[in-house]
Structure 1
């Protein structure tokens, strides 16, 4: 008689953001071949989101903020595709690959780390006229768009059109919006300084709006004050307690009644969990999947969730949930890996415990606002700490990122439009900000299954 070889259990990780990437990396180190690890993601890279504003401002080249999944996760099988329906009873996940071909993957353990998408508000015209800022395609589009508006403003015969084209409105003064405005103002000022036909007296104008009473409302007050001072010193028009009432092709109407003529509305209001989470039919908390402190979904053995997709109890603040930050997502990924491994008989499970170690906000040039371990820093020191933190946190490309920073300090930025991403390819209302929308007539193949 012959015996069939015993099949290794399969761990399927959906999403390769901060949480998913760390889960895959830790599991490959812990299990050492005892299980098959499969990572389902729309792209073949991990995106280091905190440096995305530097891509839109021309400081970093796009590939610098990406880390190859096959190149850094050697014992993890990557499946390119976007998750669709998840059959929890049948333990299968249906997906669609980049060419439109459907497929499905069976699993023994499932880790949901699908992340988040841009938060939408019911404001007329925003979905049609605003640009989000959650993925690499959006950053590439924004860099081209900013460059194009400055070039068109320079050649505009009408002063009103020139002013409209070189006015940029950022909504949301959180972490992302503050950095986008800070880097964007430096970028447009640099473009204008070396433009040979720039109209005398015209200046790029940046507005940063938020309904809160200060910038960086979720962070320490000292960080807010530092960021506000840097932004205003550069000429950014910071307006707190202000929001957008309506957006049109010609501009935005503020809730104060003022109409700002602009061709550029950049939406950084915040994020919401991936819509896939709410489609599971499981208990959610503000769109996030309810999990135990061990990151396991109650009533669904073998199903775990972490990162922005999960409402993880904050054991340091009973009754609250951990915020949706990269810092928490990365550490939750490591705990999820430990607990998945424990469910397979390797190691012991543990609850997620972590208190914030501080935040760092890069404000462009040599300036930043940071509070590592609660120590408030500003100016050049904060800039050095912030960039050092990013280099330490990135799982790859450190030398290339540092080289780009040195080149940016020594050489002028290239003011060219690559035209790789069009506006219709990066709609604000999308569940996949990491992938540019495909054109019409895309062919789809026959379905396939993976056993």
Structure 2
């Protein structure tokens, strides 16, 4: 009798717990929209499900932060596959080139941000849906496989290049810290060579810098680096101001073609006021060590070409074996990959439908990646029984473009700004988006020092691989084959 009463009390308690869970919307997931559980899940075998996230950028780190905050300890084993131990805040890379921000201050530590996640250093180079494994290539060349019950693919993007003669050998990218540091050293080195050159033509070529791509990165690089090089020219007494030449090219009919015309017009004014030559509806047909051939036939003597002509999804997406569109993994509005139970995709490498834009793929921007990280984290948690999945909805907060100094263009909440107000909004946004108090403090201090202390115009001497090519520095070769 006593035992029967205990059993009854236990049954009533269990029922009350189930009721509370249901009231919070934390029941077991149902339907493919919520990452439907499969027979192979560790959870169905009595263990904790393993959630493997590929990519430590805004999207991937956002997923893991959400899962650590939402899931009770022991509810899932969390792993991150990433070639670096940090999230790189790429929006401020141009300021690394100018020396205004220290490189490490843009690196948000993964180990500081995540407490319960195991970091697996390396590149994810293959996915086996049937075996539920992902192959990881370590920096030492070794490979290993790790199993998963939920797989989150957010490996980001790489620099998009074209089959232009000489581009692979001589083009410089702007996607990571190594490229930003190398570009700074390279530009200063060209000024050094020009300063000691006795031939006027060589001096002019060394002082000519070509930037391809008038989107965010290219426009910011051209504007900020033109300002930087003009400011340090006094350190090179044999160089004249009229020998310094920055050229910005784009096939589009205007600067910042992905943004509204007001922002593009504002950026164009700053570029021209600073002396940047903007060539629209023009691109490059050949790149040599000492010249750049333009699509209109002009040959520009130059030893520098910075390639900022867009991005391409990480090649890993083609290894998944499911549908892709322009290299981006096709997913539904819940981030689920159709035909691959337990697999989610987001960020630059996934074509996430934005229900606020009639299902058109979301833009490949940091703003989307940050929001998708939180939304996908919620849906991954729902797939293992915690919370309720929801479709991705994006509310555009506007855009900011930092042109250096007190110049910027921005449209927060649809309000168009330029000059000092835009610069203030832009820097406030960057500090907020950094996402780590330590990094915010360091970057803010860097900015204050830059206004009060003279610039240290020195080459850092960091040497990338034997050839500072986009393929080598961005490790695109690891996906070959």
What TM bracket, shorter-length normalisation?
A: over 0.9
1:285 aligns with 2:337: no
d(CA) in 1 for partners of 2:338, 2:174:
33
d(CA) in 1 for partners of 2:223, 2:260:
19
Q: Deviations over 1:45-72 (max 9, x none)?
A: 1000100111111111100111110111
Q: Deviations over 1:145-185 (max 9, x none)?
A: 01111111111111111111111000000000000111110
CA contact (8 A) 2:290 2:301 kept: yes
In the other structure, the counterpart of 1:226 is 266
d(CA) in 1 for partners of 2:273, 2:385:
57
Larger radius of gyration: 2
In the other structure, the counterpart of 1:78 is 119
What displacement does 1:32 show? 2.8
In the other structure, the counterpart of 1:447 is none
Q: Which runs of 5+ in 1 are unaligned?
A: 439-451
In the other structure, the counterpart of 1:302 is 342
What displacement does 1:79 show? 1.1
d(CA) in 2 for partners of 1:53, 1:235:
18
What pairs up with 1:29-108 in 2 under 5 angstroms?
A: 29-33=69-73, 34-108=75-149
Aligned partner (choices 165, 168, 193) of residue 124 of structure 1: 165
In the other structure, the counterpart of 1:343 is 383
Aligned partner (choices 137, 147, 153) of residue 194 of structure 2: 153
In the other structure, the counterpart of 2:19 is none
What displacement does 1:436 show? 10
Aligned partner (choices 396, 412, 415) of residue 457 of structure 2: 415
What pairs up with 1:118-197 in 2 under 5 angstroms?
A: 118-195=159-236, 197=237
CA contact (8 A) 1:141 1:423 kept: no
d(CA) in 2 for partners of 1:161, 1:217:
34
In structure 2, do the counterparts of structure 1 residues 92 and 425 end up closer, same or farther at CA, with 3 Å as the change threshold?
A: farther
TM-score, normalising length: structure 2: 0.87
d(CA) in 2 for partners of 1:147, 1:104:
44
d(CA) in 2 for partners of 1:418, 1:90:
46
d(CA) in 1 for partners of 2:470, 2:205:
22
In the other structure, the counterpart of 1:442 is none
Equivalent residue of 1:252, what SS?
Answer: strand
What displacement does 1:14 show? 0.2
What displacement does 1:200 show? 3.9
1:401 aligns with 2:473: no
Aligned partner (choices 378, 389, 403) of residue 418 of structure 2: 378
What displacement does 1:423 show? 6.2
d(CA) in 1 for partners of 2:345, 2:332:
9
Q: Deviations over 1:298-348 (max 9, x none)?
A: 111110000011111121222521111111111111111001000000000
In the other structure, the counterpart of 2:6 is none
d(CA) in 2 for partners of 1:171, 1:150:
20
1:246 aligns with 2:286: yes
d(CA) in 2 for partners of 1:220, 1:290:
27
d(CA) in 2 for partners of 1:199, 1:414:
19
Q: Which runs of 5+ in 2 are unaligned?
A: 1-44
In the other structure, the counterpart of 1:326 is 366
- Work out the number of aligned pairs and report it: 431
d(CA) in 1 for partners of 2:247, 2:378:
45
d(CA) in 2 for partners of 1:319, 1:68:
34
CA contact (8 A) 2:230 2:241 kept: no
Q: Deviations over 1:74-118 (max 9, x none)?
A: 121111111112111111111122222222211110000010001
Equivalent residue of 2:333, what SS?
Answer: coil
What displacement does 1:393 show? 0.8
In the other structure, the counterpart of 2:51 is 11
CA contact (8 A) 1:424 1:437 kept: no
What displacement does 1:426 show? 3.8
CA contact (8 A) 1:425 1:436 kept: no
CA contact (8 A) 1:426 1:437 kept: no
What displacement does 1:429 show? 3.1
CA contact (8 A) 1:426 1:436 kept: no
What pairs up with 1:306-317 in 2 under 5 angstroms?
A: 306-317=346-357
d(CA) in 2 for partners of 1:109, 1:426:
37
CA contact (8 A) 2:52 2:150 kept: yes
What displacement does 1:199 show? 2.9
What displacement does 1:191 show? 1.8
d(CA) in 2 for partners of 1:226, 1:156:
37
